[in-house]
Amino acid sequence: MSTNPFGTDIKDTDILDDLGFFDDWEDRYRYIIDLGKKLPPMPEALKTDANFVHGCQSQVWIHADYNAAHNTLDFLVDSDAFIVRGLAAMVMAAFNHRSPQAILDFDIDTYFKQTQLIQHLSPTRGNGLKSMVRKIRQAAEVARAGA
């Protein structure tokens, strides 16, 4: 999973800066979709019920891998919808390659507020985004308890 640029080469602060360059939401949506194209592929074998994110309008899978040596969680994510892959990429920029405690401490609501994203998503997409975050935080809780 080390080839995943999200959380290392592409961070939440980078996305906030980039979104600030766009004047309208059509350009921002294109940017978000392009982010999703940078996600590494998820092997079909990882698209299991255990990795499936319930509560999303689209099909979404998140696989968490705890690296005990570095005390970090590495994620792979995939979706059948381009915009959702982009939204997942934004989430990965905030959470991927972070310690379980850093994931739990990260203020995702402020991050989303700064992107002005939630107000431009349908309620079902917004709920799906929250479901992704909940699944990631659950993985962080499990990793923290086992560390």
Q: List, as one string, the DSSP characters of the chain.
A: -TT--BTTTB-HHHHHHHHTT-SSHHHHHHHHHHHHHTSPPPPGGG-STTTB-TT-SS-EEEEEEEETTTTEEEEEEEESSHHHHHHHHHHHHHHTTB-HHHHHHS-HHHHHHHHT-GGGS-HHHHHHHHHHHHHHHHHHHHHHHH-
For the segment 66-94, the average pLDDT, to the nearest whole number, is 94
pTM of the entire predicted model: 0.91
For the segment 61-84, the average pLDDT, to the nearest whole number, is 95
Active-site residue numbers? 56
Domains of the chain in sequence order: 12-146 (3.90.1010.10)
Q: In which band, very low, low, confident or very high, does the pLDDT at 1 lie, cut at 50, 70 and 90?
A: very low
- What are 112-129's pLDDT values in tens digits? 989 888 788 877 888 889
- What are 12-64's pLDDT values in tens digits? 999 999 998 998 889 999 999 999 999 999 999 999 999 999 987 789 999 99
More confident residue, 3 or 67: 67
